[in-house]
Amino acid sequence: MSRNLYVEKDVCISCGLCVETVPEVFRFDDDNLAEVYDPAGAAEEKIQEAVDTCPVSCIHWG
């Protein structure tokens, strides 16, 4: 079972780091803001890397 993972879009600055680091999980939406499209697309440690490196800390485990 995958944990709930989401991007706080009103905080995202569209830097692209998460999308580059884990493209299996994150993508840009039509407004160029990051979103989670497959929370089970990568290992949790890999996702955690994106959570930890987001410059505005707007990726959260629900």
Tokens at 17, concatenated: 């780091």
Query: CA neighbours within 13 Å on the CB side: how many for 61?
Result: 11
Candidate residues 2, 16, 29, 61; the one interacting with ligand SF4 per rule CB under 6 A: 16
**Among 32, 31, 39, residue whose Cα is nearest residue 6:** 39
**Closer residue to ligand SF4, CB minimum distance, 1 or 19:** 19
Candidate residues 15, 23, 29, 46; the one interacting with ligand SF4 per rule CB under 6 A: 15
User: Which parts of this chain interact with ligand SF4 (CB under 6 A)?
Assistant: 7, 12-18, 34, 54-56, 58-59
